[in-house]
Amino acid sequence: MFRLSELEEDALKEFFNMGLGMAADSLSQMVRNEVLLTLPKLKVVPYEEAARMLVENQEEKLVAVRQNFRGELAGTALLIFPGTESLELVRTLLNEDIPLEVVTELEQETLLDVGNVILNAFLESFTQMMHVEFEFESAEFLKGSSRFLLDITSHLAAQRQSLMEGADEDEERAFVLMMDFKTSDEEDAQHTLSGFVVLLFSHQAMLILKRELEVILSGL
Amino acid sequence: MDKRKALIVDDSSLARMMVRKFFSESFKDWDLLEAKDGDDALALVEGQTLHLALIDFNMPGMNGIDLSEKLLEKHPDLSIHLVTANIQERMQLRAESIGIGFIKKPINQEKIVAAMQGLKG
C-alpha cells in the first residue's frame, strides 16, 4: 500500500504551503484585501473518502472551480467556496453595488477566471521544487448541493480510468490538501470570504511525487 | 573567535533541513540553532547571543511576527527576517513595520547571503 514517510508528508505540506502562498497573493491582489491562510492539513485518503471530506461541515450549496492537469503529473485541483461565498467574491471583484441577478449571471465566468489564476499559481509552485511537467486543461465551473458534489466523484472516476491504467484499484489514493483561507476584514461580513483548495492525485502521480520527494530529501 | 549564531524557526522539517544544508556547506563560521515553533525558539535562545534569525510566519502557536517582537525585546540588535510562503504585500508591510526583513520562500543561499549583509560586527 502507498505510504509517505513523516518527512515526505512534511515536505509535501511545505510545497503546498508555498503553492497556496502564491495563490493567496494572486487572490489578494484581485480582492484588494489580505487573504489569511491556515496551517495546511494534508491527508492521503481514497477518492471516495476525499469526496466525503469535501462535503463534511459544508453548506448544502457549494461552488467549485476544477482544474484537471495531465502529463507526467496528473490529477485534479479544486477551489471550493460555499455558494454564498462565491457570490460575495464575485461582488467584491466586480462592483459591490451591482444587483444580485447581475452578480449571479457573471458568477460562472468570474469564478472561472479567479479559479484559473489561483489554481495555476498553486500548481506552478510545484515546478519550483520538483522536476515535473504537466499541462492544464480548461478550468470547469461546478455548482450544486453536497449531493451534486458527490457526483464529482463519479466524474473523477471517469477521469481516473485513463489515469489509472495498470494500477491496482486497491491502491487508489488521493492527496487531499485542505487549506482554509479567508479575507481579513471579519467585522464587515460583506467583505469576508472563505474557501479551500483540494488536490486529488492519481496513484501514478503519487508515485512520481514520492520519487521526487525522495530525490529532494536525499540531497539534504 | 567565537562563531556567530543564527536561529531558524520553522514548523516544517524540510525548511529547517534546507537552511541547515546551506549553513553546513557555505557558512561554516556560523552556529545554527533550530526551533520548530515560537515557544521552542524562546526557550532555546535564552541566555544566547544571536546575530541572525530566520523565522517562518505561519506556525502552530504564535506566528512569526509575534515571535519576532518578543525576540527583539530581549535582542534589540538581532537581525530578523521573516521567511514565508505568504508573499502578500500586507505581510511584507507588516514585517517592515516592526523593522524586520522579508524573504520569500523557498529560501536559497543567495537570500541567506543577502540577509547576512549589513550585520554588525
Report which secondary-structure segment, H or E, holds B9: strand B4-9
Q: What pLDDT sits at residue A175?
A: 61
Rounded (5°) CA angle A120-A174-A141: 45
Domains assigned to chain B:
4-116 (3.40.50.2300)
Size of interface A-B (CB pairs under 8 A): 60
Is there a domain that residue A86 lies in?
A: yes
* Each residue's pLDDT tens digit, A33-62: 788 777 777 777 766 676 666 666 555 677
Residue B25: strand, helix, or coil:
helix
Determine the average pLDDT of the residues in A152-174: 51
Is there a domain that residue A80 lies in?
A: yes
Q: What pLDDT sits at residue B56?
A: 96
Q: Tell whether the model's pLDDT for residue A150 goes beyond 70.
A: no
* Each residue's pLDDT tens digit, B31-49: 999 999 999 999 999 999 9
Instruction: For residue B14, give the nearest of A10, A20, A21 by CB distance.
Output: A10
Domain count, chain A: 1
Listed by number, the residues of chain B in 52-71 with a beta carbon closer than 8 Å to a beta carbon of chain A are: 58-60
- pTM, to two decimals: 0.81
Query: Which range has the worst mean pLDDT, A171-175, B86-90, B111-115?
Result: A171-175
Q: Alpha-carbon torsion B33, B38, B42, B43, what sign?
A: negative
Please, which residues have CB within 8 angstroms of residue A102's CB and are 6 or more apart in sequence? none
Is there a domain that residue A1 lies in?
A: no
Rounded (5°) CA angle B53-B58-B60: 100
Q: What pLDDT sits at residue A167?
A: 47
Q: What pLDDT sits at residue A36?
A: 79
A218 in contact with B, Cβ within 8 Å? no
Residue of A nearest to B21 (CA): A220
* ipTM field: 0.84
Q: How far is A70 from chain B (nearest CA, A)?
A: 25
Report which secondary-structure segment, H or E, holds A7: helix A6-31
C-beta separation of B84 from B91 below 8 A: yes
Report H helices in A40-182.
47-55, 83-93, 100-124, 126-129, 146-163
Find the CATH number of the domain harbouring A118: 3.40.1550.10
Is there a domain that residue A192 lies in?
A: yes
DSSP B118: T
Contact B17 A17 (CB under 8 A): no
- Taking only Cα atoms into account, the Rg of chain B, rounded to an integer number of angstroms, comes to 13
Instruction: For residue B87, give the nearest of A22, A38, A39 by CB distance.
Output: A22
Q: Return the C-alpha cell found at A42.
A: 494534508
Q: Give B56's contacts in chain A (Cβ within 8 Å).
A: none
Q: Give B106's contacts in chain A (Cβ within 8 Å).
A: 18, 128-129
Contact A14 B15 (CB under 8 A): yes
Please, which residues have CB within 8 angstroms of residue A91's CB and are 6 or more apart in sequence? A98, A103, A190
DSSP A143: E
Contact B12 A25 (CB under 8 A): no
Compare A106 and B4 and report the one with higher pLDDT. Answer: B4
Residue of B nearest to A122 (CA): B85
For the stretch B68-72, contacts whose Cβ atoms lie closer than 8 Å and that sit 24 or more positions apart, written own/partner, are B68/B95, B68/B98, B68/B100, B69/B98, B70/B38, B70/B42, B71/B41, B71/B42, B71/B45, B72/B98, B72/B99, B72/B100
Q: Tell whether the model's pLDDT for residue A184 goes beyond 70.
A: no
Q: Return the C-alpha cell found at A119.
A: 489554481
Range of the domain at A33: 6-218
How many other CB atoms sit within 10 Å of the CB of residue A188? Answer: 8
Residue A2: strand, helix, or coil:
coil
C-beta separation of A148 from A69 below 8 A: no
How many other CB atoms sit within 10 Å of the CB of residue A155? Answer: 14
* Each residue's pLDDT tens digit, B63-109: 999 999 999 999 999 999 999 998 899 899 999 999 999 999 989 99
C-beta separation of A200 from A176 below 8 A: yes
Q: What pLDDT sits at residue A147?
A: 56
C-beta separation of B61 from B32 below 8 A: no
Nearest to B32 by CA among B43, B13, B46, B45: B45
